[in-house]
Amino acid sequence: MHNHHNGLKTAALFGGIWALLLAMGWVVAQYMGSSVFILIFALIGVATTAYSYWNSDKLAIKAMKAYPVSEAQAPAMYRIVQELSSRAGQPMPRLYVSPTAAPNAFATGRNPQNAAVCCTEGILGLLDERELRGVLGHELMHVYNRDILTGSVAAAIGGVISTVGQMLSFGMMFGGGRDDERGNPIAGLAMAFLAPLAAVFIQMAISRTREYDADEDGSKLTGDPLALASALRKLDVGTRQAPLAPTPQLQNASHMMIANPFRPQDVSRLMSTHPPMGDRIARLEAMASGHRLG
């Protein structure tokens, strides 16, 4: 459902991260004397990611200490999600609320049949019903666009690159392969250290691209891009006033949230999983005005 340019950008980013993986495989073959290592670490990465993918809803909900809610406990949230799910022709996801004052929301699950939507108590108290509808439309589109799968594949490849980079640098420092098989050690070390960093940057870029898509597609689902723009303005202020501590568990789940939950000084613009709020709001306002999004 996302626009042509963002789809091409995501494909190009995936091509870039796959190119890094192949380059790492070539370097491993040169310095370790065998390509079996890349297969081993690839299998480990895929297995780890498969576990995360199949349990993504449980992991994210646990990280936010969320609890399930019924229609009686969260009537506005339930009514909105039920309406938007029906409009999209998708099953009703499970609903959760996280007992934190930090305003945020996320949706997770490997497919629409196994999806969960979570709002914090902070966002439920901050937004009016129209703004909440805009946020929930955004989150549902992450599930419908299979963004959990996209993020899992990117994380798998990035994890393999990082692991192989560590093994490669260790092997070059302490020996590996025959001397007559080794290439330029400086080039090899550069690849070992820079490729994992480049993979992280690509993962972040993929996540930011998917956020733009969810903004656009969610606004098409609700028919009200200005509602989401208004919600993002409030969230920009709210997350700064009540940030979450960047624990490892929350760092792994932060890319799922509609707004960066951490303080600006805890994450650089380049390493952020979210586009700048100003850019997102401007795109939504252009969408409401009938202008084509970039």
Residues 139, 181, 211, 216: which is the catalytic one? 139
- Beta strands (DSSP E) in the chain are 67-68, 94-98, 105-108, 116-120
71 an active-site residue? no
235, two tokens: 């969230």
116, two tokens: 């969960």
Beta-sheet strand order (sheet of 94-98): 67-68, 94-98, 116-120, 105-108
Q: Report the DSSP pairing between strands 105-108 and 67-68.
A: unpaired
The DSSP element (H or E) to which 233 belongs, if any, is helix 225-241
Judging by beta carbons within 10 Å of its beta carbon (0-12, 13-18, 19+), is residue 233 exposed, middle or buried? middle
Closest CA to 260 of 102, 151, 152: 102
> Is-contact 211 105, C-beta < 8 A?
no
Residue 97 has φ and ψ, to the nearest 5°, of: -130, 135
Residues found in the chain = 294
| Catalytic sites, residue numbers | 139
